[in-house]
């Protein structure tokens, strides 16, 4: 019996050890820094969405300018390219709005967890340093929100303006119709430049916030979404 019992005890000890290790790993998965990494990932995804919007706006304006300034004998294919590009840009704008909501949600959860961690701290000097760091991160959050508001403020009117141009061309897709709408297209180009500038500033804020929250050192470098291939949708 002794030869049977000892292996059983050792086996039981091994099982208990594995269970404890699993429990410890499970507990670590709720560590607050992982919520920071999750928030950083949300920022990176949002930056990709901004890049998509910038690219789709560029394609929309390029196809519109080609239609108006270099019309082909048959205007319909150029008009279709412009219309489809505008649809794609509108979809990108909608995705950006959803991304902004996700960023705000992650921000709220992350700061709430930070507050809980602060309440567990005993030494005032540690708490004070952590509170100062939290204020810095909150500043990034607020900057991102401001940039989203700024981008939304200029993007929505441009979408409406381009849709009005589409309606006008849909009604009068003729050489004379193109000539009549040229001054309006020039104004659309000016507004598109303002939108691209706002999207660039938003990208900068998203990259900075992602780097400030990530636990991976390599991600502290600035990110240029224009040089990054977005994940497959």
Assigned domain for 222 exists: no
Give the pLDDT confidence of 212-226 residue by residue, as tens digits: 776 654 443 344 444
Assigned domain for 147 exists: yes
Assigned domain for 156 exists: yes
- Kindly compute the dihedral angle of the four CA atoms of residues 62, 67, 68, 69, in this order, to the nearest 10 degrees: 70
For residue 143, the model assigns a pLDDT of 85
Give me the half-sphere count of Cα atoms (radius 13 Å) on the Cβ side of residue 145. Answer: 13
Assigned domain for 19 exists: no
Number of domains comprising the chain: 1
For residue 178, the model assigns a pLDDT of 96
Give me the tens of pLDDT residue by residue for the chain, a chain 233 residues long: 444 444 443 444 443 344 334 333 334 334 555 666 777 788 888 889 999 999 999 999 999 999 999 999 999 999 999 999 999 999 999 999 888 888 888 888 888 888 888 888 888 889 889 888 888 888 888 888 889 999 999 999 999 999 999 999 999 999 999 999 999 999 999 999 999 999 999 998 888 878 777 665 444 334 444 444 444 44
Assigned domain for 219 exists: no
Give the CATH number, domain containing residue 74. Answer: 1.20.120
Assigned domain for 7 exists: no
Assigned domain for 151 exists: yes
Assigned domain for 94 exists: yes
pTM (predicted TM-score): 0.74
- Expressed as residue numbers, the domain containing 180 is 33-213
CA distance linking residue 196 with residue 187, whole number of Å = 14
């Amino acid at each position: 019996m002794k030869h049977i019992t000892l292996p059983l005890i050792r086996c039981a000890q091994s099982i208990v050890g594995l269970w404890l290790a699993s429990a410890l790993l499970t507990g670590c998965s709720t560590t607050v820094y992982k919520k920071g990494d999750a928030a950083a990932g949300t920022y990176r995804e949002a930056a990709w969405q901004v890049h998509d919007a910038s690219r789709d706006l560029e394609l929309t304006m390029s196809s519109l300018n080609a239609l108006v300034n270099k019309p082909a004998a048959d205007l319909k294919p150029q008009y279709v390219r412009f219309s489809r590009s505008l649809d794609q840009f509108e979809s990108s704008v909608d995705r950006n709005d959803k991304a902004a909501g996700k960023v705000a949600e992650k921000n709220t959860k992350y700061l709430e967890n930070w507050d809980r961690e602060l309440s567990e701290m005993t030494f005032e000097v540690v708490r004070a340093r952590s509170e100062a760091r939290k204020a810095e991160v909150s500043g990034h959050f607020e900057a991102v929100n401001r940039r989203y508001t700024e981008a939304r403020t200029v993007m929505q009117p441009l979408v409406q303006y381009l849709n009005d141009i589409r309606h006008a061309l849909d009604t009068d897709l003729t050489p004379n119709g193109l000539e009549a709408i040229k001054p309006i297209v020039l104004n659309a180009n000016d507004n598109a430049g303002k939108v691209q500038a706002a999207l660039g500033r938003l990208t900068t804020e998203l990259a900075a916030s992602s780097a400030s929250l990530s636990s991976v050192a390599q991600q502290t470098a600035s990110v240029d979404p224009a040089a990054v291939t977005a994940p497959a949708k």
